Amino acid sequence: MNKLGFSSHVMVVVLVSVWVNASEVFRYFAIVMPETREFLHMVPDIAPMDLTVFLIWGLWDTLLTTMIVVMYWLVAQHRGHSFSSASIAGLASWAFFFVLFWVGMINMSLTSVQLALIALPLALLETVVASGIACLLYRAIDRHRQAN
């Protein structure tokens, strides 16, 4: 694996972010927001939808996507661009980002265990698929570079 330019990495992050954003939006609006509003019904204006929330969410998704791609890249440096690398990177990303988040939320009584048991498997699917997309993109970049 030859060294890639910064623009190649940015392109991978941008393309992977399409999946991550779609997955995050689906999970939040279909499951997390309604369950959070029900669980914390006594908190006024819980889970609002406004510009500040969307900006923070954009930052969250950017950090998440970048972390997934970097994690995949690090694993691939040792194991090559393979789906086993994507699985390892996806699992590690999930554990470092989502498991810590949901354990903290449960620990502070800000969510239910039942919601975490629904959200965590969906987040695992998200990170493994995102790592798989990164794998496919880096493979394509490598093939393109070798052909030229």
Sketch the domain layout of the chain as residue ranges: 6-147
DSSP the chain: -----HHHHHHHHHHHHHHHHHHHHHHIIIIIHHHHHHHTTTSTT-S--SHHHHHHHHHHHHHHHHHHHHHHHHHHHHH-SSHHHHHHHHHHHIIIIIIHHHHHHHHTTSS-HHHHHHHHHHHHHHHHHHHHHHHHHHHHHHHHHHH-
Q: Is the pLDDT of residue 1 over 70?
A: no
pLDDT tens per residue across span 78-90: 999 999 999 999 9
pLDDT range class, residue 129, cuts 50, 70, 90: very high
pLDDT tens per residue across span 22-78: 999 999 999 999 999 999 999 999 999 899 999 999 999 999 999 999 999 999 999
- Report field, pTM of the whole predicted structure over 0.75: yes
Structure confidence at residue 3 (pLDDT): 73
